[in-house]
Chains A and B, each alone.
Chain A
Amino acid sequence: MSGLKMPEPQAATLSRRAEIVADMRIIVPGEGVVDSEEGMRVFESDGLTAYRQLPLVVVLPETVAQVSRILKYCHDRNIRVVPRGSGTSLSGGALPLKDAVLLVMSRFNRILEIDYANRVVVAQPGVTNLGITHAVEHQGFYYAPDPSSQIACSIGGNVAENSGGVHCLKYGLTANNVLGIEMVLMTGEVIRLGGKHLDAEGYDLLGLMTGSEGLLGVVTEVTVRILKKPETARALLIGFPTSEQGGQCVADIIGAGIIPGGMEMMDRPAIHAAEAFVQVGYPLDVEALLIVELDGPMAEVDHLIERVSEIAAQNGCTTSRISTSDAERLAFWAGRKAAFPAVGRISPDYYCMDGTIPRKELPRVLAGMRELSEKYGLGVANVFHAGDGNLHPLILYDANKPGDLDKAEAFGSDILRLCVKVGGVLTGEHGVGVEKRDLMSEMFDESDLNQQIRVKCAFDPSHLLNPGKVFPQLHRCAELGRMHIHRGQVPFPELERF
């Protein structure tokens, strides 16, 4: 992947840069256009920092009309556009292109409406995920999807990535919590999908937009569902001598009809790194540590926590603690939440992967990872959204050691191939971006990918929005539109029909 190939910059665009910058200043007056190298430097990468590229120009519009004019301008002149929210993508979804306008939506930072009776918030896309919860928590409400970057990531970016988080087994992903958006197409046309009501009147374009990684349109407004905060939450911290037992415990909890608010697993290297960092009393003699959080009405949580405790005992846990206070519950989580920086302390660099597997395959995938770890000579620590099978292996490497990054990336790709092989997928919540772009054919054949690209053709036939992301090769729409007619017999003539 270090040899990542991005679309060839368009010479015509590069040669007109001064003119384009001047025109952008007309559309967005004031401070909204950044064209100095120094000023653009902060935008040269997103959360996938291994890749950097200065854009053609950075534009920070403030109004929907400006977004519409920018896109129409670029559409009419065949100029590429890369949309960006807060730039926290871990897959390079907002990586700039040398010949593309970087359209930064961070100035769209206002909450437009809070409607408790209908339980929705209408926000501009640059509002942070946590900003929505902050706006309503004094009334006891919150916005459920909670990606770990929630303090910084924008709600518009959440729509683009279909962001998840720790609580999505019970409360769903972004796609299940967004009711409507306003968006601008590459042509500059402004459309609205959904709103405060449920379901679509026609095709589920909102469903297609969510998780489309900035390739279909630019979101300018988001309507989300807010929920009343659960009355209480309690957590269990459970240690197992083997990952198999931990995995079976998760299966048995769900088999008993219990859907916890959060259910996280860590392996030995992750447990040790976390405990060394935050010292919250994680057991160090276990192979798998499970945090199970139950939330809801008091009577329910008290009832279920006993049942989970019994199930853990039946599966041979060697430690089991139930939180008796909110402080203790948060302490259980502190190590898990600090797992990434904790791993950062034991290794100069780490590379965070994101595959999903059927849960029952966990022991097999962990064993496979141990083999790969030996093969590549790099360590790996695992944190795992155990309820939904979303695995985050952290590959330990040293960027200053020649060849280490390449090895880490190859290791990561092999892990994702393994995920696909056992019935899982390449990415559970971080997106394809540029990072997993060239692995898409591990999961999809040409026909699958072509049909996805045809969706792109319906929204952006000139492929001007965020090119080089998600698809290994973006076929021209005219080419994809050709029909191959298989003229033949009437189908299965041996069968009776009437």
Chain B
Amino acid sequence: MADIQSFTPTTPEEVLETVRWAVAEEAPLEIVGQRSKRSIGRPVEANHLLDLSKLTGITLYEPEELVLSARAGTPISEIEALLGVNNQQFAFEPMDYGPLLGAEAGRGTIGGTLNANLSGPRRLKAGAARDHILGISAVSGRGETFKSGGRVVKNVTGYDLSKGLAGSWGTLAVVTDVTFKVLPAPETEKTLLLNGLDDHQAAEAMAEAMGSSAEVSGAAHLPEGVISKFLDRALIGGPKTALRIEGVAPSVEYRVDHLTRLLRSHGVGDVLEAEQSCALWREIRDCHPFCDATPSPVWRVSVAPMMGPRLVDTFRRAAGANAYYDWQGGLIWMRMESDPEAEVLRKLITHFGGGHATLVRAPESLRRQVDVFHPQPAPLAALSARLKEQFDPRNILNPGRMIQPASPTT
């Protein structure tokens, strides 16, 4: 084994050179950007670091064409600031894992955003990073560059490898360049709060809201156990269910009014104005109640929205957990009192119609023992392994991060 190396390429060509070196030396690489999500996944079994934090720069931004391209290591904060100047945004509302994982807020790169397939509360209306990526350039674990997609929204030319890399956590290829669709930012927003609903009543109310023509762009339920953690204790006094309305001002007024009438039997309460609304949804997005500077296990669970509360109820009979819901009840953030109880949780997910649970926070020792990513049935796991082998046959890119590595084939 060669000495431990840390490579900090500044161009895609240098990335290619590094990966080719690693392929030849059979020297696995851990790929990092600003390291804001480095502790998600099984610990990577690599001695060398491929650090993309200097592979930066916005290479194209045409607001009227709704398109932005950047080098993979470009800070997301820099991009969002530029978009903001033009009243635009990433509609998928990428969350910031930093505070949950014990780092400061505002870090992370655009490459990491794609590789983690980030999203936020607007996921249920506008999709995740996968839904907004238009094109990529990347270096495969074979030491070859390839591109996919383009810079236009509507494109079905060839396989969508850009989507294929979304959520691959750097295990298929090193993305060097990305092109994303951007959209106008809403002019303003408000949040309608419902008071005092239990988890099941909240699921019913959220389903009614999402099934209305009010175009709700966020539907979260914050049970009593977490409510004091939001907006500096401004929301205390029982559970709150939050419904976000965004758009041009007259439309927001009209729809808040519409929702208020629609949900009058569901404990309609206050309306948060733009500033507070914005702050609340940022906290919901970034898992603020569990940003507690501890390593206690945190699950991110995705199930059918109506199944969320039922799953949590049943799971709590087996384990102590604090939980809240986003995505109309379909996204559950859950902090465990002690053991993550992975097997119990995953059995229940199957029982309640399917979905997945990712152990997004846990001490390293635990992340070695427990499957961080949801295990797949055998034929699907085999297909995923074949895909990995087609991109990275020597298993040199983030080996072990998503699944325990098999012995490399050459």
Contacts and interface: CB of A to CB of B under 8 A. Distances in A.
Given A297-B213, A483-B410, A458 B131 contact: no
Contacts of A498: 6
Nearest to A495: B8
B42 to A, nearest CB: 13
Interface residues on A, range: 35 or more
A385 B156 contact: no
Given A356-B154, A425-B155, A491-B18, A191 B183 contact: no
Contacts of A251: 64-65
B354 A195 contact: yes
A198 B145 contact: no
A410 interface: no
B23 interface: yes
A116 B305 CA distance: 11
Interface in A173-197: 173, 175-176, 185, 189-193, 195-197
A432 B157 contact: yes
A199 B387 contact: no
Contacts of B389: 458
B21 A488 contact: yes
B251 interface: yes
A351 to B, nearest CB: 19
A481 interface: yes
Interface residues of B, number: 107
B152 A424 contact: yes
Contacts of B154: 164, 168, 173, 356, 385, 388-390, 428-429
A358 B376 CA distance: 40
Given A175-B163, A303-B251, A296 B152 contact: no
A41 interface: no
Interface stretch (A97-105, A205-213, A272-280, A330-338): A205-213
A216 to B, nearest CB: 8
Nearest to B249: A303
A492 B14 CA distance: 7
Contacts of A205: 164, 380, 383-384, 387
Contact of A451 (B63, B143, B144, B153): B144
A455 to B, nearest CB: 5
Considering residues B130, B158, B355, B383, which has the most beta carbons from chain A within 10 angstroms of its beta carbon? B158
B304 interface: yes
Contacts of A424: 150, 152
A5 interface: no
B327 A203 contact: no
A458 B145 contact: no
A490 interface: yes
A455 B159 contact: yes
A425 B146 contact: no
Contacts of A120: 304
Nearest to B127: A176
A247 to B, nearest CB: 10
A117 interface: yes
A211 B159 contact: yes
Contact of A452 (B143, B159, B330): B159
Nearest to A140: B213
B21 A444 contact: no
A487 B24 contact: yes
Given A199-B167, A389-B153, A424-B152, A300 B254 contact: yes
B63 A198 contact: no
Consensus secondary structure, chain B interface: mixed
A427 B155 contact: yes
Contacts of A388: 152-154
A459 B383 contact: yes
Nearest to B172: A203
Contacts of B151: 358, 423
A356 B77 CA distance: 31
B347 interface: no
B184 A161 contact: no
B356 A118 contact: no
B330 A198 contact: yes
Interface string B39-67: 00000000000000000000000111111
Interface string B345-379: 00000000111101000000000000001101101
B247 to A, nearest CB: 6
A443 B211 CA distance: 42
Contacts of A389: 152-154
B130 A490 contact: no
A134 interface: no
Nearest to A231: B213
A198 B308 CA distance: 12
A241 interface: no
Interface string A152-185: 0000000001101000110011011000000001
B213 A228 contact: yes
Interface string B373-410: 11011011001101111110110000000110000001
Interface in B243-292: 247-248, 250-251, 253-255, 258
A189 to B, nearest CB: 4
Given A191-B380, A202-B402, A492-B9, A300 B152 contact: no
Given A203-B164, A390-B154, A458 B386 contact: yes
Nearest to B389: A458
A212 B148 CA distance: 13
Interface in A265-310: 296-300, 302-304
Contacts of B130: 204, 207
A292 to B, nearest CB: 15
A375 B401 CA distance: 57
Nearest to B14: A492
Contact of B393 (A115, A176, A259, A481): A481
B357 to A, nearest CB: 8
B216 to A, nearest CB: 10
Contacts of B143: 484-486
A203 B327 CA distance: 21
Contacts of A374: none
A52 interface: no
Interface in B124-153: 124, 127-128, 130-131, 140, 142-148, 150-153
Contacts of B148: 448, 451-452
B331 to A, nearest CB: 7
B383 A485 contact: no
A454 interface: yes
Nearest to B158: A452
Interface string A333-362: 000000000000000000000001111100
B356 A208 contact: no
A118 B157 contact: no
Contacts of A173: 154
A219 interface: no
Interface string A363-403: 00000000000000000000001001110000000000000
A478 B156 CA distance: 27
Nearest to A257: B184
Interface of A: 115-120, 140-141, 161-162, 164, 168-169, 172-173, 175-176, 185, 189-193, 195-205, 207-208, 210-212, 228-231, 251-252, 254-255, 257-259, 296-300, 302-304, 356-360, 385, 388-390, 423-432, 436, 440, 443-444, 447-452, 454-459, 470, 481, 483-492, 495, 497-498
15 contacts: A117-B305, A189-B379, A199-B167, A202-B384, A211-B156, A257-B184, A300-B248, A359-B65, A436-B157, A459-B383, A483-B394, A483-B410, A490-B21, A491-B7, A497-B8
Given A197-B304, A202-B374, A303-B248, 10 more contacts: A195-B353, A208-B163, A297-B251, A299-B250, A299-B255, A483-B23, A483-B410, A487-B24, A491-B21, A492-B18
Interface of B: 5-9, 14, 17-18, 20-21, 23-24, 62-67, 87-88, 117, 119, 123-124, 127-128, 130-131, 140, 142-148, 150-161, 163-164, 166-168, 172, 183-185, 187, 204, 207, 210-215, 247-248, 250-251, 253-255, 258, 302-307, 327, 330-331, 353-356, 358, 373-374, 376-377, 379-380, 383-384, 386-391, 393-394, 402-403, 410
